[in-house]
Copies of this chain bind each other. A is one copy, B any other.
Amino acid sequence: MSLSPSQNNKTLRRRREILEGASRVFRERGLHATGMRDIAAELDMHVGNLYYYFRNKQDLLAFCQQDALDGLLSRARTVRKEELRADTQLFKLIYAHVHLLNYELPASLAHLEIEALEPEVRQPVLRQRDEYERLLRETVDEGIQSGLFRQTDPKVATLAIRGAVNWTVKWFRPGGPAKIAEIARQFAEYLVMGLLTPGIPPEFPDSSELAFLVGSGSPSPEQRL
């Protein structure tokens, strides 16, 4: 007798399946163009059935966004814990962000559209978003403090970074000419170089250190996108 399916373990797995199906349709048709019926169709189920797993569309949307931010946050925390130079650390943060968003996280697209959430559901998502932003900004701050980075407003720099990396979701498509790992590397390089104090040689992680992405933290067994 479980009125709220979120407790059961199996139904929670199903919720993830729905998340992935929904995210697939979001990518194809766009977040706002997809209705509950589209999501149901993608999963070969009936509309009403979705409401067994989610109270409403907002609930489903919030679940997607939570998942995306969870992924970003857990990775960012891991990187932050390593004691590295600010430039190396920022490089990894940016690299991980681009990679996660376009390769591992199914719900990444939703992450771009917090405005789509109604205020009640938006709040917890917003809190996580701010926490993530804090991690980024702290890294930039440290870089400036240590003289490694130029004297700039870390808030503005962080927003520039967030914009560049989030925007990738809008144009990157898996089948395209460029590989996501290479794009992630170039983004990280570009956005760190822009902060470095002129004259200081950057210290970037080599590719072996970037394998940290594959197979840890991400909860899905098969690669998703």
Contact = CB atoms under 8 A, between A and B. Distances in A.
Given A163-B165, A164-B164, A156 B198 contact: no
Contact of A159 (B30, B150, B152, B171): B171
Contact of A190 (B33, B115, B160, B183): B160
A187 B116 contact: no
A201 B199 CA distance: 10
A167 interface: yes
A187 B168 CA distance: 18
A168 B167 CA distance: 11
B190 A194 contact: yes
A159 B167 contact: yes
A160 B164 contact: yes
Interface string A149-181: 010110111011111111110110000001000
Nearest to A168: B163
Interface in A178-207: 178, 183, 186-187, 189-196, 198-199, 201
A10 interface: no
- The majority secondary structure among interface residues of chain A is helix
Contacts of A159: 167-168, 171
A205 to B, nearest CB: 18
Contacts of A157: 186, 190
A150 B202 CA distance: 14
A32 interface: yes
Contact of A30 (B115, B153, B171, B198): B115
Interface string A27-41: 000101100000000
Nearest to A32: B32
A166 B155 CA distance: 17
A168 B30 CA distance: 21
Nearest to A159: B171
Contact of A186 (B30, B152, B162, B163): B152
Sort A-B residue pairs by CB-CB distance and give the 7 closest, nearest first.
Answer: A163-B167, A194-B194, A163-B164, A164-B164, A160-B164, A32-B32, A190-B194
8 contacts: A153-B178, A156-B178, A156-B190, A160-B191, A162-B167, A166-B167, A167-B167, A190-B194
